[in-house]
Amino acid sequence: MRMAAFALCGAALPLILLATPGCTVNPATGGASVVFSSAEGERETGQEMHDKLMSEGAAYDDPELQAYVNKIGQRLVAVSDMPDLKFTFTVMDAPEINAYATPGGFIYVNRGLISYMNSEEQLAGVIGHEIAHVTARHHARRKTAGVTGQVRRQRPIS
């Protein structure tokens, strides 16, 4: 009897979790997305991450390069799926060839990637790719997938 109750709870919990989050339209794909966080919550999370990175001195100190990357990024945001979202572009003092996005519109481009690029178009392609991660809400979708995956793994076996 007890195992049956656990099995019932294990089966019902994912359905309850899926019913409680917001089912929203993904602005990048137009499809439905089930996510556990709001856009405001994503912005707060991203801001916290950004503040931590900046307090650690991770930004590259070159105002001219920073302005250049920001100009490219803001032009791309204007034609993105979320033109009204405030995006922040930061050049990072890191030699690796990398760029990444955090929730809520924070985009980071390593100075190593910039020095590797051969044209503004290549850099714009990378920045556009990172903007797409934000507009498609990939962070929220990964977070939701992680939570639902944990629920599935915790279901008792009957």
* CB 50 within 8 Å of CB 58: no
Cβ burial, residue 85 (10 Å; 0-12/13-18/19+)? middle
DSSP letters for 18-82: HHSSEEEE-TTT-SEEEESS-HHHHHHHHHHHHHHHHHTT-B---HHHHHHHHHHHHHHHHTSS-
| Residue numbers annotated as active site | 130
What distance lies between CA 26 and its chain's CA centroid?
Answer: 13
- Alpha carbons within 13 angstroms on the beta-carbon side of residue 133 total 19
| Spatial distance between the Cα atoms of 19 and 26, rounded to a whole number of angstroms | 17
